[in-house]
Amino acid sequence: MSHGVPRVGGEGEGGVASSQDKIKARIKAYKELEKDVTDRIKNEDYSNTTFQLTSTLLSQNPEYYTIWNHRRLLLQHVFAREFSTSSPDNPTAEGTLSTSDDHADTTAAQKAGLSPSQHEISLLISEDLSSLLPLLKQYPKCYWIWNHRSWLLTKATTHLPAASAIKFWQGELALVGKMLALDSRNFHGWGYRRTVVEAIERLGDISMAEKEFEYTTKMIKTNLSNFSAWHYRSQLIPRLLNERNARREARAKFLDGEFELITSALYTDPYDQSLWFYHQFLMATLDTTNPQAGIILSPCTNSDRKMYLEQEVTSVREMLDGAEDCKYIYQALLEYARRWRDLGGEVEKTDMKEWLGELRKLDPLREGRWRDLEKVLGLEVV
Amino acid sequence: MSLVAGPGRGGTGSGQLPDELGLVVQKHVAYIQSLDTRRDELESHLTEHLRISGIYWGLTALHLLGQPAALPPEEVIEFVLSCLHDNGGFGAAPGHDAHMLYTVSAVQILAMVDDFVELEMRVPNGKMKIARYIADLQQPNGTFAGDEWGETDTRFLYGALNALSLLNLLPPQRKDEPPLINVTAATDHVKACQNFDGGFGVAPGAESHAGQIFTCLGALSITGELDSFLGEEGKDRLGAWLSERQLDDSGGFNGRPMKLVDVCYAWWVGSSLAMIGKMDWIDKKKLTEFILRCQDPEEGGIADRPGDMVDVFHTHFAIAGLSLIGYPGVMLVDPA
Ligand SMILES: [Zn+2]
């Protein structure tokens, strides 16, 4: 699957022969390396050399999932060996995968409450995590690299005391923060962040909801148009308020604050989809037909709902001034008007007809959808 | 057989086609056939970890183009069976480890080519063996892992249900036998992946993504819960989200808000719209034009975007997208 790779024209006349030789040589080297690694694993050669060879092969082809499996097989073997043989007078055999056996290290390990084998395992994991960083930066969308990191981290969790394991997860949180600063939409990055946060919460028996909420605030302040950060924020809020044991008053204040934040952002750029996404989320928390949104205001009566709908329709209508060609505004108006009506409110049909008319003009691609909406709203010309 | 690698070179850089240009069927057929003979290109070796899926994509595209025999069925079966492991799983190519994704591709191919006849002949109880490999990957929370190393993803869940259904070994398909998997747990997991915007993410809490929406709808459709779970309001919300994926300037789809268009979403978004009966909420003509502009009109094959390198993955999903729209000369496909 190639994404975003430009199609190239034919090679220059003179270069064809020599570049074909080069390609042949590269294929040969690659196939030899592949065979070498595969044979070694078949022969259960779990040496440092084999480990290094998997690194070389993976740096040429990080999508080669079987080689990642080989690498884990090898590490697993080394971990098991550590536990079965490790004792002060049983040094690691020549050529096997191990880290420096510095005695100062060992003392530090004892202080941290690690046995010598746990110490060795922790060093191996930490080395593998850092040696894979350049590859991750080069291929931030490669499943298998993220996958391998999370495997290493689960091994740390299994083999090490919680206090040591949590340090690894905290390191990953810092890393994923950096990765998301580079690409705020990286799907793998956000998924990894969820896994990391869950692990820290579990190991440390703490909640990260407040901290993560602050993180989304920071991300949004850096760039308002940060869709994934708005999404993450929407996921955190219901839990955050529950953990705060927030009463109705606090919840109402919170909701008002969020409306203020998003409304001022929308006034700045009503054409930004990520902002509308969040506005829709806030409105959806007030919509009884949409349980997936979670709850902010509680208890919440129909008159509360109508109050917010009225407030938001008024404010969204004002956004039209200077942005008459912004289809998201008409979409929001029609959607909120529909909910207003479902709650027994009156809506001027002429207003709705006008909004729908604008929408059709601005967005002819989705004409079928607007036609269905017209029916649902009962605006058809009879 | 090698079917994944893109061509080394070829095609016009500009990707500008005259409006009247249609689907260059014969060129695409030739392109897919040619993938078998590209062992002199490094790319063909670097994509070996996708080979069996590549064959599935190529073969399906050929079926849709009405030329199923353009890849010799015996060779296809031979290759697929050479990827089978003792545990019942398939790797991407001989010597590659078994994985859910490639097991699903293998099952899809074997179902398409000869309805598992050759498999059952050569491997005693072959279908059940494969089904057990898949079933063993189900996790306590209902989701499925990709392999023994544990990564989970709604793609694997859909793949598992899809493959078991093709094998005719889903619990409802063999009511008198003990069930191989927990269908309720699987669908509960899918439901937990839904967001307020109507879409589905890769795990509970994850942002909606067109690819994941396809897999989740596909799973619900296989278990027969699509209509009851979504309801009319749910379909409207999801349909709205999906229809917004079509972009005004190009007519193509993106996979998430504010991302680039990509021809493969013609399938992920298009089939999702079809499954909820909202195909009319997008402009099919504009989408068709976009897909056709992604073709390499000279060498065949279809790229993610006009002017980019073609590959068999995008060739397949583009043609499947055309099939959903009912493009003349392309066979109709089942959206799930
Ligand atoms: Zn694509």
Q: Is B50's CB within 8 Å of A367's CB?
A: no
Q: How far is the CA of B232 from the centre of ligand 1 (A)?
A: 30
Closest chain B C-alpha to A45 CA, distance in angstroms: 17
Q: Is B49's CB within 8 Å of A26's CB?
A: no
Residues of A in Cβ contact (< 8 Å) with B149: 69, 72, 147, 151
Residue A268 pLDDT level (bands cut at 50, 70, 90) = very high
Q: Cis peptide before A299, with omega less than 30 degrees from 0?
A: yes
- Condensed to tens digits (0 to 9), the pLDDT of residues A226-242 reads 999 999 999 999 999 99
- ipTM associated with this complex: 0.92
- The confidence score (pLDDT) of residue B214 equals 98
Chain B 140-169, CB below 8 Å of chain A: which residues? 147, 149-151
- The confidence score (pLDDT) of residue B41 equals 83
- Please report, for chain A, the start and end positions of each structural domain, with discontinuous segments joined by +: 25-87+113-206, 251-382
From residue B103, alpha-carbon distances to A5, A304, B83, B130, B200 in Å are 28, 53, 9, 8, 24
What does pLDDT average to over chain A?
A: 91
- The confidence score (pLDDT) of residue A103 equals 58
Whether residue A87 is predicted with pLDDT greater than 80 in this model: the reply is no
Backbone angles phi, psi at B253, to 5 degrees: -105, 150
Dihedral class, residue B10 (left if φ above 0, else alpha if ψ from -120 to 50, else beta): left
- Condensed to tens digits (0 to 9), the pLDDT of residues A312-355 reads 999 999 999 999 999 999 999 999 999 999 999 998 999 999 99
- Asked if A269 has any chain B CB less than 8 Å from its own CB, the reply is no
Chain A 315-354, CB below 8 Å of chain B: which residues? none
Q: Is B197's CB within 8 Å of A280's CB?
A: yes
Q: How far is the CA of A155 from the centre of ligand 1 (A)?
A: 33
Closest chain B C-alpha to A366 CA, distance in angstroms: 5
Residues of B in Cβ contact (< 8 Å) with A23: 40-42
Tell me the residues surrounding ligand 1 (ion) with CB < 5 Å.
B 262, 264, 304
Dist. CA B210–CA B213, nearest whole Å: 5
pTM of the model: 0.93
- A358 neighbors A330 (Cβ within 8 angstroms): yes
Backbone angles phi, psi at A32, to 5 degrees: -65, -45
- Asked if A9 has any chain B CB less than 8 Å from its own CB, the reply is yes
Residues 6+ apart with CB under 8 A from B25: B65, B329
- Asked if A19 has any chain B CB less than 8 Å from its own CB, the reply is no
A96 strand-pairing partners:
A47
Q: Is B197's CB within 8 Å of A289's CB?
A: no
- The confidence score (pLDDT) of residue B336 equals 72
List the single range of A85-99, A108-122, A133-147, A153-167 with lowest mean pLDDT: A85-99
- A306 neighbors A261 (Cβ within 8 angstroms): no
* Closest C-alpha to B189, from B160, B167, B210, B165: B160
List the single range of A79-88, A101-110, A139-148 with lowest mean pLDDT: A101-110
- The confidence score (pLDDT) of residue A3 equals 83
Tell me which residues of chain B have a pLDDT lower than 70.
1-20
From residue A131, alpha-carbon distances to A55, B184, B313 in Å are 9, 42, 32
* Architecture in CATH for domain A251-382: Alpha Horseshoe (1.25)
Q: Show contacts of B75-78: CB within 8 Å, 24+ apart.
A: B75/B1, B76/B1, B76/B109, B76/B113, B77/B110, B77/B113, B77/B114, B77/B118, B77/B119
Q: Is A1's CB within 8 Å of B197's CB?
A: no
Whether residue A10 is predicted with pLDDT greater than 60 in this model: the reply is no
- The confidence score (pLDDT) of residue A85 equals 72
- The confidence score (pLDDT) of residue A211 equals 98
* Architecture in CATH for domain A25-87+113-206: Alpha Horseshoe (1.25)
Residue A11 pLDDT level (bands cut at 50, 70, 90) = very low
- Asked if A31 has any chain B CB less than 8 Å from its own CB, the reply is yes
Q: Tally C-beta pairs within 8 A across A and B.
A: 165
Dist. CA B40–CA A16, nearest whole Å: 13
- The confidence score (pLDDT) of residue B93 equals 96
Dist. CA A134–CA A152, nearest whole Å: 17
B308 strand-pairing partners:
A6
Dist. CA A316–CA B333, nearest whole Å: 43
* Closest C-alpha to B55, from B124, B131, B123, B107: B107
* Average pLDDT for A199-213: 97
- Asked if B335 has any chain A CB less than 8 Å from its own CB, the reply is no
- B256 neighbors B209 (Cβ within 8 angstroms): yes
- The confidence score (pLDDT) of residue A12 equals 43
- Condensed to tens digits (0 to 9), the pLDDT of residues A33-76 reads 999 999 999 999 999 999 999 999 999 999 999 999 999 999 99
Q: For residue B207, give the DSSP letter.
A: P
**Position of tokens 């799983």?**
B89
In degrees, to the nearest 5, what angle opens at C-alpha A320 toward C-alphas A314 and A326?
A: 125
Chain B nearest-CA residue for A364: B283
Identical topology for domains A25-87+113-206 and A251-382 = yes
Dist. CA B93–CA B81, nearest whole Å: 10
**Which residue type occupies A125?**
I
